Amino acid sequence: MNKKTYLLKKTIALTITMLLSFSVLTSIYKIEAAENIYTGINTVNTILNNIDYRDIRQSNAWSKEAICEVSALEIMKGYGNQTFGRTNSVTKEQALALVYNAVGREAEAQVAAEAIDIGRMADNKKTYAPAMWSDGYLQLAATDGLISAKDLSDALALDKSAFTQENFYRDSTAQRQDVAFWIASVLGLEPVYGQQKIFNSYSDWVGADPFNIPYIEAVLKHNIMNGLGNGRFNPRGNVTREQMAQIIKNALPVILPLRGYERKLGTIESIEPSVSFIDGQSKTESTYNIRNSGGSLHQVKTQIFTGQSTDYRNEQSGRIEAKENIDLIVYKNGWLGKSDVLEKGDRIEYTVTMEGKVVYVKVLSTTADTNYLVAKVNNIDTTNQTLNISKIYDIDYTKVDLDDDKFSYHSEGKKVDVTYVYSSDVEVYVENIKSKIEHIKQGMDVVLAIENDMVTGIKSVTLKLKDQSVANGIVEDNNPQLGYITLYNEKKIEDETVPSIKTYNYSNPKNITIMKNYKAANIEEIEGGDSVYIKFDDEGNIEIISAVDNYIQRHGKVLSKKPLSLAIQYDDGTQQILVTSGDIPVILDKKLVNYDSIKEGDRLKLLLNITDTSTSLKQITIEGDEHFITNIYKGVVDKLDDVSNSLIIRNMEILKNGKWERTVQKGFSMIGIAEGSELYYNNENISLDFVNRKLRSNQAYIAVEKDYGGEEKAVLVSFKQSDATELTEFDDSIVSNTMGSEGELSLEKGTNNIFYNRGTIIIKDKRLVIGSSISPEDTAYIVANRAFNDGMYYAKIVEIVPRSDPNFIGIYRGRIASINKNKDFTVNSFSQLNGVNWEFYNTPKTFRITYDTSIVDDSGVVGQRNFTDHGSSSYKDRTVYILANGTDAVLVNTAPYGNVSVKGEIYEINAEDESTEFVLYNTKVYNPSTHMWEKSKDMRLNILQNSIILKDNMIVQARDIAKGDKVRLIKKDESETGDAYIIFIE
């Protein structure tokens, strides 16, 4: 209900109750005197017989009610053969007649018609009354300016042979714009200039006669006529009879006063019949006690005769006629009836004439629907019998139990002041004692029982001191563009829990205090799935929204990564593709990193917002680097040891740079099995048990990761089929991959395609990945078996070789000219190592000293603050190696100059804790004149305190050199002994 109706109601209530305030005041607790007493009408049978339209009664026509009502009010009539003809179009003359009938001007039309007819030649006089009266309406219309004088003469003309389209045909169909104009004129509606509605709402207004537009606007404004619902008014369209009925019904609020009728609302409180027998007839006089919307009592009286009286005969036939009853026309349950269909509790709308006759009763609802609400009393007006309250809550039951959470906030989220009329016999309880309305005081909290918008019960309650204008629940949807938020909550009604969804609107989020996770936030941050509390101000506007997220942590592994999505396998085995974006923070070791840092095979902790419609990613944490695949072994599995939960393996070999090498430990070795590890045989996931029972002495390939404490544990074990043949290791580039967890690779050099499956150990970026992570252009070491039964190649291991780091470290050598302490230093000229050659540049070069710059001289590390060009330990004029990333010095080293490049494989290392000496075999020395690597004898070389050791472009320590490493190094000469100055581990 909008505010306007409240106002309207208030004024109505005021005017009515003012008149009768005295009686009301005195009569509250006495037998109540009726404010008005009405009677029924005696034409009920006649009217109802006329209305018995068979084409309407059985139909489900939308216009049924309108047809009944306008017929009951005798504005429209049927064709007389029990048909209404609802879809027939109305002609111009019919339309005019109906409009005049509606306002009760039939008599005027008849008078005018007679005047016309008198002026006619005898031959032309009309003998059929309706046709003659029709002339009257036209005349009236012309007089009132509804039609022009020419229209009238056209209408009355006998000879229409010369007529053109421009002429007025009285029996042509009336256009909608005509009807609008006529209704507006006859009803005296103010034409509306400065049109709004027609322009804004209807696209076809141009089709209307400009003259008619203000009138169309007027009927639109009064909701008498409407558009067609498709944005059109259709001004030139026809009007059917049922449409006409509806138009008249819509106009009744204007028409009724013109006819001197009044329409009232009320509820039948009781029906008091009294029967008397007169003259062989029983006469039932009934009094219908109606509590009207003003709170006062109205009575309607009827008289129904049954049986026959000899007093009343047909004067022609002498038949005894039934005496005309004083009855009511009642519209109830979709059709018309008489007063006998009325029941106690019916809420009715009754139309009363100036003479106090009830001409039409419409039952609005058959049971008194009572609402309850909790409210604060603002004002009580005993004179007008009204109560002004601030509504707090709707409640479903009279029982008030605040703790029981049976309150629901008023669904519009509005807290409004409302004025209600209260019934004269309103039941009042104050502190559970029956009291009088006088005991209700301003400021009291009360429960109101509202029946048909009237207060019928008031009960005082004590509301606990808590802020009631609060809603809470889980956000279903928040739409800042359209300004609404929808909450899901559960409402307990008695013992049932009913899910409820409520939407609250907000217009300007800037006026709302918004909190998310206890911090000030924007409205956009409130999202589906959040738990939220909303507080409303006195006007019912949202004042505070306070939300916390309900994000959930889930753990899983990256199956595949795309720029905008991640395919994740959760720990419980389920998989999901999550959409990512640049806004989602990625964290590694408590530092924010790029999305690029996520690698396929990584384990992630995901913060998710899961709602019933979607899952969105909020934060990604990458597991620390403790669990990379450190090595791949192969060996013959002797058994699985239950006690230690480890595999006992003999003939163990390790895959190094794509080649199998025997491990240090001889005989048997033990590899623990990591939690959640997987074992495969013949592309099937097998149990640990299966190993002991069926796979003893089978060869297996084992990928291990480092567990806590540095122990290696198997995470993927792939058994070789005993009849398959192991092929020589491949070192090749991938040309194509069919993708998927099972697929096929084709290689650049290899001629046979190689299949992979779930049992294949696939390593990329030190992580165990699935086949789809292998991309063309990757180079990989591949260990494959040739199956005995189909002769195909099956990969057991695919180890993708890391691409070289773009952060290339340049190696320079130069003489220090000056040092800007802790900032930079400059060399006069320098050589840069390019492959195996030193290239000389005769220009100075400055290198920056950063906090990460390491300075090493012959005795070890030098602090940056001691790296100066003055004093006793000056570095000025010393020739140093400089390893630099761009111009940032990474390492400054005083190792001696060498220009002989040697390469070979480490065969032996003499090392206690620090490696100091190693032996190279397969040794080759670079000959700069021939540009050839020439074979040499084995070399036994020293590692100096300040030897530079590089691996994968990183500076490493001497202890990182391992037996079997292929190295390239720079030394002073070609001799078989000496010091290695720079060692590159390949």
Partner 1 sequence: MTKLLKLMSLMLIIVLSTSNIKIYARSGDSGFEGGISSGEVEGKTTFDYKEVVFLTGEPIVFSGTLTIKKTSKQDSATGKQIITSNYTYKLTNPERSGNLTKFISYNTAVTEKSNGQKIEETVLNGRYTEVIDIDGVKYNLKNYDFTKTNITDSKPAVDYLAGNLWGRKTYSIGTDEGTVTVDVIGDFYGYNQYWGSTETQVLEYLIESETIKGDIVDKWGGTASIRLSNSTAKQIKYVENEPETISFEGGFVQTQYNNSILQYFSSLPEFDSQGVSTDRLIEKSDSLKIEGFPVKTRLLVPSLHHLKGHWAENDIRALYSLEVFKEDSNKFNPQDVMTRAEFADAIVKAAKEVPQDSTLVTSKTSRSVKNKKEEILSPFIDVPVESKYFESINNAYKRGIVSGRGNERFGPEEYLTMADAITIIIRALGLEALAPVGGVATPFVDDSDIPSYARNHIYVAQRIGLVLGDERGYLKPCEYLTKARASVVINKVINYMRDDLKKDYRERIVNY
CA 962, CA 985: separation in Å to the nearest integer? 9
Least distance from partner 1 to the Cβ atom of residue 489, Å: 5
If the CB atoms of residues 489 and 829 are measured against partner 1, the closer one turns out to be: 489
Concatenate the DSSP letters of all residues of 945-960 into one string. EEEEEEETTEE--GGG
Establish how many alpha carbons lie within 13 A of residue 768's alpha carbon, considering only the half-sphere containing its beta carbon.
25
If the CB atoms of residues 396 and 934 are measured against partner 1, the closer one turns out to be: 396
Binding to partner 1 by residue 515, rule CB under 8 A? no
Binding to partner 1 by residue 398, rule CB under 8 A? no
Binding to partner 1 by residue 711, rule CB under 8 A? yes
- Applying the rule CB under 8 A, the residues between 523 and 542 that interact with partner 1 are 529, 531-532
Three-state DSSP state, 104? coil
Q: Which stretch binds partner 1 (CB under 8 A): 103-111, 150-158, 375-383, 551-559?
A: 551-559
List the structure tokens of 138: 């036209």
Q: Which stretch binds partner 1 (CB under 8 A): 149-157, 234-242, 315-323, 545-553?
A: 545-553
CA 521, CA 848: separation in Å to the nearest integer? 44
Least distance from partner 1 to the Cβ atom of residue 61, Å: 39
Contacts 24+ apart (CB under 8 A), 334-343: 334/64, 334/65, 335/57, 335/64, 335/68, 336/48, 336/51, 336/68, 336/72, 338/44, 338/48, 339/40, 339/286, 339/288, 339/302, 339/304, 340/304, 342/268, 342/271, 342/288, 343/268, 343/271
If the CB atoms of residues 491 and 972 are measured against partner 1, the closer one turns out to be: 491
Concatenate the DSSP letters of all residues of 657-721 into one string. TTEEEE-SS-SEEEEEEEEEEEEEETTEEE-HHHHHHH-TTEEEEEEEEE-GGG-EEEEEEEEPP
Task: Return the residue of 488, 595, 628, 907 that touches partner 1, per CB under 8 A.
Answer: 488
Task: Return the residue of 69, 712, 732, 857 that touches partner 1, per CB under 8 A.
Answer: 857
List the structure tokens of 693: 């029972």
- Applying the rule CB under 8 A, the residues between 122 and 161 that interact with partner 1 are none
Neighbours of 640 (CB within 10 A): 21
Task: Return the residue of 119, 130, 210, 499 that touches partner 1, per CB under 8 A.
Answer: 499
Binding to partner 1 by residue 238, rule CB under 8 A? no
CA distances from 942 to 881, 920, 945, 949, 971 (A): 18, 11, 10, 12, 10
Binding to partner 1 by residue 854, rule CB under 8 A? yes
- Applying the rule CB under 8 A, the residues between 445 and 484 that interact with partner 1 are 472-474
Binding to partner 1 by residue 378, rule CB under 8 A? no
Least distance from partner 1 to the Cβ atom of residue 710, Å: 7
Binding to partner 1 by residue 687, rule CB under 8 A? yes
Closest C-alpha among 649, 669, 650, 653 to residue 661: 653
CA 130, CA 71: separation in Å to the nearest integer? 18
Task: Return the residue of 708, 929, 930, 935 that touches partner 1, per CB under 8 A.
Answer: 708
Task: Return the residue of 430, 809, 862, 955 that touches partner 1, per CB under 8 A.
Answer: 862
Least distance from partner 1 to the Cβ atom of residue 535, Å: 15
Binding to partner 1 by residue 955, rule CB under 8 A? no
CA 295, CA 287: separation in Å to the nearest integer? 18
If the CB atoms of residues 358 and 542 are measured against partner 1, the closer one turns out to be: 542
If the CB atoms of residues 147 and 679 are measured against partner 1, the closer one turns out to be: 679
Measure the CA angle with vertex 784, ends 783 and 788; round to 5°.
155
Task: Return the residue of 685, 697, 820, 910 that touches partner 1, per CB under 8 A.
Answer: 685
Binding to partner 1 by residue 503, rule CB under 8 A? no
Would you put residue 612 in left (φ > 0), alpha (ψ -120 to 50) or beta? Answer: alpha
Closest C-alpha among 268, 289, 272 to residue 452: 268
Least distance from partner 1 to the Cβ atom of residue 951, Å: 17
Taking the alpha carbons at both ends of the chain, their separation in whole angstroms is 83
Three-state DSSP state, 381? strand
Least distance from partner 1 to the Cβ atom of residue 348, Å: 41
Binding to partner 1 by residue 490, rule CB under 8 A? yes
If the CB atoms of residues 152 and 819 are measured against partner 1, the closer one turns out to be: 819
Least distance from partner 1 to the Cβ atom of residue 587, Å: 8
If the CB atoms of residues 624 and 776 are measured against partner 1, the closer one turns out to be: 624
List the structure tokens of 557: 């592994």
Chain-centroid distance of CA 511 in Å reads 23
- Applying the rule CB under 8 A, the residues between 567 and 586 that interact with partner 1 are 571-573
Least distance from partner 1 to the Cβ atom of residue 796, Å: 20
If the CB atoms of residues 889 and 906 are measured against partner 1, the closer one turns out to be: 889
Least distance from partner 1 to the Cβ atom of residue 885, Å: 15
Task: Return the residue of 274, 482, 913, 930 that touches partner 1, per CB under 8 A.
Answer: 913
Least distance from partner 1 to the Cβ atom of residue 327, Å: 52
If the CB atoms of residues 515 and 862 are measured against partner 1, the closer one turns out to be: 862
- Which residue is it, tokens 């009408």? 41
**Is residue 270 within a helix (H) or strand (E), and if so which, with residue range?**
strand 262-278
List the structure tokens of 43: 């034409």
Least distance from partner 1 to the Cβ atom of residue 518, Å: 14
Contacts of 549 (CB under 8 A, 6+ apart): 516, 517, 527, 529, 530, 609, 618
If the CB atoms of residues 629 and 920 are measured against partner 1, the closer one turns out to be: 629
Least distance from partner 1 to the Cβ atom of residue 578, Å: 16
By CB under 8 A, the count of residues binding partner 1 is: 57
**Is residue 340 within a helix (H) or strand (E), and if so which, with residue range?**
none
If the CB atoms of residues 689 and 986 are measured against partner 1, the closer one turns out to be: 689
Binding mask 27-66 for partner 1 (x = CB under 8 A): ----------------------------------------
CB 713 within 8 A of CB 704: yes
Closest C-alpha among 286, 292, 262 to residue 338: 286
Least distance from partner 1 to the Cβ atom of residue 382, Å: 44
Task: Return the residue of 657, 779, 822, 837 that touches partner 1, per CB under 8 A.
Answer: 822
Binding to partner 1 by residue 605, rule CB under 8 A? yes
Binding to partner 1 by residue 845, rule CB under 8 A? no
CA 411, CA 500: separation in Å to the nearest integer? 10
Binding to partner 1 by residue 597, rule CB under 8 A? no
Neighbours of 850 (CB within 10 A): 14
List the structure tokens of 920: 């190279």
Closest C-alpha among 430, 293, 449 to residue 373: 449
If the CB atoms of residues 674 and 747 are measured against partner 1, the closer one turns out to be: 674
- Applying the rule CB under 8 A, the residues between 335 and 374 that interact with partner 1 are none
- Applying the rule CB under 8 A, the residues between 617 and 656 that interact with partner 1 are 621, 623-624, 626-627, 642-643
If the CB atoms of residues 190 and 642 are measured against partner 1, the closer one turns out to be: 642
CA 52, CA 77: separation in Å to the nearest integer? 11
CA 55, CA 86: separation in Å to the nearest integer? 8
CA distances from 249 to 69, 252, 493, 822 (A): 7, 5, 41, 96
Binding to partner 1 by residue 592, rule CB under 8 A? no
Least distance from partner 1 to the Cβ atom of residue 641, Å: 12
Q: Which stretch binds partner 1 (CB under 8 A): 141-149, 361-369, 686-694, 834-842?
A: 686-694
Give the binding site for partner 1 (CB under 8 A). 472-474, 487-490, 492, 497, 499, 529, 531-532, 550, 552-553, 555, 571-573, 589, 603, 605, 612, 621, 623-624, 626-627, 642-643, 685, 687-689, 693, 707-711, 822, 851-855, 857, 859-866, 913
